[in-house]
Structure 1
Amino acid sequence: MTRVLITAGASGIGLVMAEAFAGTGARVWVTDVDAAALAALPPGIRGTHADASSEPAMELLFAEIARDWGGLDVLCANAGIKGPTAAIEDMGLEAWHQCLAVNLDGAMLAAKHGARLMKPAGRGCMIFTSSTSGLYGTPFRAPYVAAKWGVIGLMKTVAMELGPHGIRANAICPGSVNGPRIDRVIEAEAAAKGMTPDAVRQGYASGTALKRLTDPEDVAGLALFLASDAARMISGQALAVDGMTYNVDP
């Protein structure tokens, strides 16, 4: 039975991924910092309260996985926050550091400890959640963009290092995904630009070839594919799930 770990898996994209993997019969373990969301996990999905950007927390988590599962087949490094929305001249260093800690440090720690479990088995799959913001710049989102570009660079390096050990690594780059997080992003961007939230949302949708925002299920579907044998020769790739974004400044 496939053993899957998803960081930040108790809500949003992470939860939809967890439910999708569980639906295939996989054993699924998620982490999150939201205790209420963890308490509401569907039956059959195991949850641990842990900060993905804390090395002590990750060490404890992976030690527990090694003890209880004996290994790990799929790692979804999904933890992330939207970070501040501000012009670069107004960007606070503390907010910058916090955004990079969760989005980039969290991905590195997951890969570091995941590799230690996967290498002895000679196989495994790592899936990093980046963003289309990791493929180009996004105004007023400097720390988030920097972190998501960093995630792609991390993924490519991990794919090179771990490929000889039978471990694949790829990144999913969602566009604007329907849900509470994009609602908060849109509200903040609307305030920064002096626009209405509806106008910003419509701009996001009209900037894609398919003229709509992405659903979490679209992202989960790609994760299932990347973790499957059908993707056994796909590694080191950053794959967009965004309806083909071509206007990055709505």
Structure 2
Amino acid sequence: MSGPDLSGRHALVTGAGSGIGAAVARALAGAGARVSLAGRRREPLAETAAALGAQAGAIAILDVTDRAAVAAGVAAVEAEAGPVSILVNNAGRAASGPFERIAAETWDDMLAVNLTGAFLVTQAVLPGMLARRAGRIVNVASTAGLVGYPYVAAYVAAKHGLVGLTRALALEVARKGVTVNAVCPGFTETPLLDGSVATIVEKTGRTAEAARSDLARANPMGRLVTPEEVADAVVWLASPGAAAVNGQAIAIAGGEVMTG
């Protein structure tokens, strides 16, 4: 059986320069969608676009926490590549440390990038989807949006907020041709994970290999998730076959977290 066919659809992926975002962009393009890319740095976005070949859409250099930049970027993307019918809110970053040492600036940054960014980009794209009565929104959350983890309180709070936003908006648009879902990866082989490993090495003096092995053991399968596995789930949620799936937060973590 062939995979989902997204021909004729235009997708916008934020944080598309590397990791999960780049994998999602490649997977959507492989399913036939035209894929536009957003992020803060042009060079990695250009590299991702080059990998998409003829399916590459527009590139928007923007900070998802800046409302004016988001509005202008979405308008430019749609002017160049057409109305966005699939939105993947992937932009995010993580900071770690004991709760009592979290600076107010770090707290604000975690909420801004991981939660407010998705809110702003969705607000910019959603009116067009509602007018056309067709659209798919997929938020890249985390298992940290489903359970708690120590030493990442701000990140956990932001990702829980993103899952809550997903569920609330899904109910608002359920009868308007738009679905809203989240994917919640566990520890995944990305530059974000590399940062976590570096922090563990710095704090504990352990080797990077040992730190990575400990993170892998959190997954009952005994390994890290790949960006491509997350991307496959996103493509399915964007496909016609997932038309009845709405308001879900799907854990992609080998059984580490089970939702019911």
For the aligned pair, the TM-score class normalised by the smaller chain equals over 0.9
**CA offsets 1:101-134 (integer angstroms, 9 cap, x no match):** 1111101012111211100001111000000011
Amino acid of the residue matched to residue 152 of structure 1?
V
Q: TM-score, normalised by structure 1?
A: 0.93
**CA offsets 1:29-69 (integer angstroms, 9 cap, x no match):** 01011222123231342311111111101111222234334
Amino acid of the residue matched to residue 173 of structure 1?
C
Deviation at 1:195, TM superposition (A): 4.0
Q: Would you say 1:9 and 2:16 are equivalent positions?
A: yes
| Residue in 2 that maps onto 1:18 | 25
Match 1:81 to one of 73, 93, 96: 93
Deviation at 1:2, TM superposition (A): 0.7
Check the 8 A contact 1:74/1:227 in 2, yes or no: yes
| Residue in 2 that maps onto 1:121 | 132
| Residue in 2 that maps onto 1:29 | 36
Q: Would you say 1:47 and 2:59 are equivalent positions?
A: yes
Check the 8 A contact 1:86/1:192 in 2, yes or no: no
Secondary structure of 2:175's aligned partner: helix
Pairs aligned (count): 245
| Residue in 2 that maps onto 1:64 | 76
Match 2:217 to one of 206, 222, 235: 206
Secondary structure of 2:37's aligned partner: strand
Secondary structure of 1:126's aligned partner: strand
Higher deviation after alignment, 97-106 or 194-203: 194-203
Secondary structure of 1:165's aligned partner: coil
Q: Would you say 1:133 and 2:144 are equivalent positions?
A: yes
For residues 90 and 251 of structure 2, the distance between their equivalents in structure 1, rounded to whole angstroms, comes to: 15
For residues 159 and 111 of structure 2, the distance between their equivalents in structure 1, rounded to whole angstroms, comes to: 9
For residues 187 and 68 of structure 1, the distance between their equivalents in structure 2, rounded to whole angstroms, comes to: 40
Identity across aligned pairs (percent)?
33
Check the 8 A contact 1:52/1:102 in 2, yes or no: yes
Q: Would you say 1:157 and 2:164 are equivalent positions?
A: no
For residues 182 and 129 of structure 1, the distance between their equivalents in structure 2, rounded to whole angstroms, comes to: 15
Amino acid of the residue matched to residue 113 of structure 1?
A
Superposition RMSD in Å: 1.5
Q: TM-score, normalised by structure 2?
A: 0.90
Check the 8 A contact 2:59/2:77 in 1, yes or no: no
Deviation at 1:70, TM superposition (A): 4.3
